[in-house]
Amino acid sequence: MSFQVPAYAAFSAHEPLAPYTVERRDVGPRDVRIDIKFAGICHSDIHTARSEWGETPYPVVVGHEIAGIVAEVGPEVTKYAVGDRVGVGCMVDSCRECENCKAGDEQYCRKGNTGTYASTDADGRITHGGYARAIVVTEDFVLRIPEGLELDVAAPLLCAGITTYSPLRHWNAGPGKQVAVVGLGGLGHMAVKLAHAMGAEVTVLSQSLKKQEDGLRLGADHYHATADADTFTRLHSSFDLIINTVSAKLDVGAFLGLLKVDGTMVNVGAPDESLSVNAFALINGRRSWAGSNIGGIAETQEMLDFCAEHRLGAEIEVIGAEQINEAYERVLASDVRYRFVIDTSTLG
């Protein structure tokens, strides 16, 4: 059984997104139906809508930065009630039994987590995400948006927030640590805010100095242009941790050279092209090159609570449905300040 919801979908890799009616399952015993109020636009939505990570099942409703209000709960739901302010991020299920799920790392579920969109759900249907008026999700994958965080600025935390919070925590960003953030887009601007709130000394490495004033206002202590070759000489061996949020291929070796001995560069950016590195860039300085995928459910709640405590939301530009395609072009042109958020009441 199912019901219909107005949405926006990608129909192929080369066409603009357009209005669509998505089927949602009826609320099951442990499900929560959420009236979506805001949905952030993540660069991963664009990679998926355009089949840049492999063939996407079309049509697909993307969007995994979801904020809304609980509209209905199943009879066995214990954590949420109608009217609660909630969010959904990049996952809507996982096996819950493997060692990684049990450790709270559902994103690394050995059987593969169920993505919020373009994934196959337990019932065999393809999942559809947040560019829609409503979604039905099992309560265990729903997050609580704390008081003090408005829904529009909270939406991007569900992906951009947790994806940067998790590696910053894992690699101990904090007082006395030099943290660099590469790319000042959706993820990058949250990385700057979060690392600053954790007490680290933060440097932005952006392609140009165009966004320098913003970067410093967001909490960065320093800001440098990577187009200036001098940057790589001046900042050699400077950082304990580099968070690379860039959505395109870049010269990994040049950035590894900016790490201190035992420093780590963490890739959260997920370009469609392979990245490569010369072994000497790692050998010199016992450096590490790592990756990180979003964060677990409990950790996502911890991040939301941290953001509420520190009064941190995303810097957003709220748009209507008819501006989604234009917003995609602006994201691709690095012209996002710093997350587009769709007001889902405009979806029809």
Residues found near ligand NAP in the complex (CB under 6 A) = 42-44, 47, 159-160, 163, 183-188, 206-207, 211, 245-248, 250, 268-271, 292-294, 331, 334, 336
Find the part of the chain contacting Zn ion (CB under 5 A) among 76-84, 146-154, 157-165, 298-306.
157-165
Restricting to residues 108-147, name those near Zn ion by CB under 5 A: 109
Q: Which helix (H) or strand (E) holds 326?
A: helix 324-332
* Six token digits for residue 274: 């392979």
**The entry of Zn ion, ligand NAP, none that residue 109 binds, CB within 5 to 8 Å by partner kind:** Zn ion
Residue 304 contacts residue 157 (beta carbons within 8 Å): yes
- Taking alpha carbons only, the member of 286, 282, 77, 289 closest to residue 182 is 289
Considering the complex, state which of residue 188 and residue 296 has its C-beta at the smaller distance from ligand NAP: 188
- What is the distance between the alpha carbons of residues 323 and 320, in angstroms, rounded to a whole number? 6
Q: Cβ-closest residue to ligand NAP?
A: 185
Restricting to residues 38-97, name those near Zn ion by CB under 5 A: 42, 44, 94-95
* Contact flag: residue 159 with Zn ion (CB under 5 A): yes
- What is the distance between the alpha carbons of residues 208 and 93, in angstroms, rounded to a whole number? 40
* Six token digits for residue 187: 């993820």
**The entry of Zn ion, ligand NAP, none that residue 95 binds, CB within 5 to 8 Å by partner kind:** Zn ion
- Cα angle 262, 110, 159; round to 5: 65
- Taking alpha carbons only, the member of 288, 271, 63, 303 closest to residue 166 is 303
Considering the complex, state which of residue 136 and residue 264 has its C-beta at the smaller distance from ligand NAP: 264
* Contact flag: residue 98 with Zn ion (CB under 5 A): yes
Considering the complex, state which of residue 229 and residue 298 has its C-beta at the smaller distance from Zn ion: 298
> Whole-number minimum distance, CB 73 to ligand NAP, in Å?
29
- What is the distance between the alpha carbons of residues 244 and 180, in angstroms, rounded to a whole number? 8
Q: Which residues of the shown chain bind Zn ion in the complex (CB under 5 A)? A: 42, 44, 94-95, 98, 101, 109, 159
